[in-house]
């Protein structure tokens, strides 16, 4: 048995194993149509190689060398460090955002109230488009396309629970301060955050640009915001992929609300623990933020801002819900990192193609508040939320980075920040097997994935 035979048999086994893994990857992700497509497009290659190797004897050495050479080239492109990806660019001053101008704050304005009249007297440009979605049922109530008599009440219960906890976001600080070296305190705090159930945790300097200028919700509405804390501890929790696959139904909305409650509880406990150690701390949870969590999560090295307007993380893509704790405890900040999101989003556009509202831009970035980024239309997005009766979530469903990085994709994800070829291969893999766009379900499931 000569070397071409030994090498050929080894390559046939290797190609067969790769084909099996390539087919199992989308199957394990719950993407059955992609698994079937992989079976049709990928499996014939090792079969064809094996037949040619067995039947066309003169070509054995050439086939073996060709496969070996191709494998070396692909391995080199994936694993040899190449051009580092470009990150987010800040090109000018960043004026503070008034929380009262956010669509969620405007949604809490009660028509006819003094707060309602004063706001639209100050911001008349918002009034006409806001009245369009005010004619539609609120989220989680009868009348929305995806209203479910059981599941649609669960998000309301989650958010009501969080609202009841708003008075506890701050509290008395212990007069006895526990002192630790900065590095040790940081390591301990991150360990406690993970112990409390948080999946992602990072620390960023709390710059003034990342504070809201005025309170936009609750009893302190309109009050100027001053937060003298030095650091923001950003906390993120993963949304269940099976529930996100059900977007835009009440199942995905329930999952979003559940994770906001989960990360909010962790932030409240962490802030209380820091105050017990003698350090001022405030929790920032859904409905009671005083800071902009997404840019702080970027500063903390947890991800990059993508085309769909969310932070995309290496671990979970945009399937993350966020909270934060601001504090003066002695901490070591993390640094922003780039892992290829800007290049992937520039070439992908799947979220924009899938957005039923047309709210996600398919073009190039714009310069907004000193930051070069894609700008989504929050008013169009919220109109569809009210129309569906859920928070939609099709962009999360469509994003290739949302899929759990299993098997073959785990290797590709590892290579994304290291290799431009890996980023190109990741997008080619996505376009080959997965749908080009996702559309709203014609008939929502009656039961959640845990039912």
Which of 354, 379, 398 represents a domain boundary (last residue)? 398
Tokens 């040899």 -> residue:
80
Taking the CA atoms of 74, 75, 81 and 85 in sequence, report the sign of the dihedral they define.
Answer: positive
Q: What is the pLDDT of residues 183-218, one digit of tens each?
A: 999 999 999 999 999 999 999 999 999 999 999 998
Q: What is the pLDDT of residues 215-231, one digit of tens each?
A: 999 889 999 999 999 99
What domain range includes position 300? 99-398
- My answer on whether 251 and 322 are in the same domain is yes
A 10 A CB-CB count for 251 gives: 30
Comparing C-alpha atoms, which of 361, 381, 382 is closest to residue 372? Answer: 361
Q: What is the mean pLDDT of residues 153-166?
A: 95
Q: DSSP labels for 87-117? A: ---B-S--PPPPGGGSHHHHHTPPTTSHHHH
User: Which pLDDT score, from 0 to 100, does residue 46 have?
Assistant: 67
Give the list of residues 6+ apart from residue 448 with CB closer than 8 angstroms, or none.
151, 243, 246, 251, 254
Asked if pLDDT for residue 233 goes beyond 60, the answer is: yes
CA atoms within 13 A on the CB side of 436: 1
Q: What is the pLDDT of residues 135-147, one digit of tens each?
A: 999 988 999 999 9
- My answer on whether 63 and 202 are in the same domain is no
Stretch among 18-22, 169-173, 182-186, 391-395 having the lowest mean pLDDT: 18-22
| 69 vs 441, higher pLDDT | 441
Total tally of structural domains belonging to the chain = 2
Give the list of residues 6+ apart from residue 17 with CB closer than 8 angstroms, or none.
none
Structure tokens at 414: 């590892």
User: Which pLDDT score, from 0 to 100, does residue 6 have?
Assistant: 59
- My answer on whether 120 and 58 are in the same domain is no
Asked if pLDDT for residue 69 goes beyond 60, the answer is: yes
**Where are any strands of DSSP class E within 306-365?**
311-312, 320-327
- My answer on whether 409 and 391 are in the same domain is no
CA atoms within 13 A on the CB side of 69: 6
C-alpha to C-alpha distances, 351 to 75, 125, 240, 309, 310, nearest whole angstrom: 30, 28, 19, 10, 11
- My answer on whether 381 and 411 are in the same domain is no
Whether 440 is covered by a domain: the verdict is: no
- My answer on whether 380 and 285 are in the same domain is yes
| 38 vs 16, higher pLDDT | 38
Whether 93 is covered by a domain: the verdict is: no
- My answer on whether 104 and 63 are in the same domain is no
Q: What is the mean pLDDT of residues 267-294?
A: 98
Q: What is the C-alpha separation between 36 and 16, in angstroms, rounded? A: 16
CA atoms within 13 A on the CB side of 101: 10
User: Which pLDDT score, from 0 to 100, does residue 387 have?
Assistant: 95
- My answer on whether 322 and 409 are in the same domain is no
Q: What is the C-alpha separation between 116 and 120, in angstroms, rounded? A: 6
Give, as one character, the DSSP assignment of residue 239: P
- My answer on whether 198 and 313 are in the same domain is yes
Give bridge partners of residue 133 from the DSSP assignment.
none
Asked if pLDDT for residue 48 goes beyond 70, the answer is: no
Name the percent of the chain in helix, strand, coil, to the closest 5. 50, 10, 40
Q: How far is CA 182 from the centre of its chain?
A: 30
| pTM exceeding 0.95 | no
Whether 162 is covered by a domain: the verdict is: yes
User: Which pLDDT score, from 0 to 100, does residue 411 have?
Assistant: 83
Whether 444 is covered by a domain: the verdict is: no
Band (pLDDT 50/70/90 cuts) for residue 181 is very high
Whether 446 is covered by a domain: the verdict is: no
CA atoms within 13 A on the CB side of 108: 13
Whether 239 is covered by a domain: the verdict is: yes
- My answer on whether 115 and 174 are in the same domain is yes
User: Which pLDDT score, from 0 to 100, does residue 76 have?
Assistant: 64
Asked if pLDDT for residue 320 goes beyond 70, the answer is: yes
Band (pLDDT 50/70/90 cuts) for residue 449 is low
- My answer on whether 41 and 168 are in the same domain is no
% pLDDT > 70, the chain: 86
Whether 236 is covered by a domain: the verdict is: yes
User: Which pLDDT score, from 0 to 100, does residue 180 have?
Assistant: 95
Q: What is the pLDDT of residues 17-33, one digit of tens each?
A: 777 787 888 888 989 88
Whether 139 is covered by a domain: the verdict is: yes
- My answer on whether 67 and 103 are in the same domain is no
């Amino acid at each position: 048995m000569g070397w071409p035979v030994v090498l050929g048999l080894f390559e046939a086994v290797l190609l067969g194993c790769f084909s099996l893994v390539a087919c199992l990857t989308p199957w394990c992700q719950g993407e059955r149509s992609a698994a079937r497509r992989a079976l049709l497009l990928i499996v014939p290659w090792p079969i064809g190689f094996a037949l040619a190797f067995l039947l066309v004897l003169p070509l054995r050495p050439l086939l073996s060398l060709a496969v070996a050479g191709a494998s070396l080239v692909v391995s080199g492109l994936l694993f040899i460090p190449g051009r580092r990806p470009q990150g987010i660019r800040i090109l000018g001053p960043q004026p503070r955002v008034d929380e009262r101008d956010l669509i969620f704050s405007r949604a809490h304005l009660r028509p006819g109230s003094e707060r309602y009249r004063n706001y639209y007297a100050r911001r008349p440009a918002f009034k006409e488009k806001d009245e369009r979605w005010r004619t539609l049922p609120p989220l989680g109530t009868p009348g929305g396309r995806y209203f479910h008599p059981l599941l649609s009440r669960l998000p309301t219960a989650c958010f009501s629970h969080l609202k009841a906890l708003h008075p506890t976001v701050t509290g008395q600080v212990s007069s006895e301060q526990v002192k630790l070296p900065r590095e040790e305190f940081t390591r301990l705090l991150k360990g406690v955050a993970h112990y409390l159930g948080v999946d992602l945790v990072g620390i960023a300097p709390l710059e003034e640009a990342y504070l809201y200028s005025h309170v936009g919700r609750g009893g302190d509405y309109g009050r100027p915001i001053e937060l003298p804390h030095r650091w923001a501890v950003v906390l993120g929790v993963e949304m269940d992929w099976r529930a996100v696959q059900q977007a835009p139904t009440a199942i995905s909305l329930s999952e979003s609300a559940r994770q906001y409650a989960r990360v909010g509880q962790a932030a409240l406990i962490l802030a209380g623990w820091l105050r017990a150690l003698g350090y001022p701390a405030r929790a920032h949870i859904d409905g009671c933020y005083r800071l902009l969590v997404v840019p702080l999560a970027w500063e903390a090295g947890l991800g990059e801002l993508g085309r769909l307007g969310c932070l995309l993380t290496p671990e979970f893509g945009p399937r993350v819900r966020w909270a934060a704790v601001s504090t003066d405890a002695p901490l070591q900040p993390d640094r922003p990192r780039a892992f290829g999101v800007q290049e992937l989003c520039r070439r992908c556009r799947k979220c924009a193609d899938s957005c039923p509202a047309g709210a996600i831009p398919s073009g190039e970035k714009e310069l907004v508040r000193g930051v070069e980024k894609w700008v989504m239309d929050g008013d169009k997005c919220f109109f569809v939320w009210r129309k569906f009766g859920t928070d939609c979530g099709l962009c999360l469903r469509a994003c290739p980075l949302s899929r759990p990085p299993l098997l073959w994709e785990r290797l590709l994800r590892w290579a994304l920040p290291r290799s431009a070829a890996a980023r190109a291969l990741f997008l080619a893999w996505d376009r080959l097997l997965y749908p080009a766009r996702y559309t709203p379900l014609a008939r929502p499931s009656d039961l959640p994935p845990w039912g």
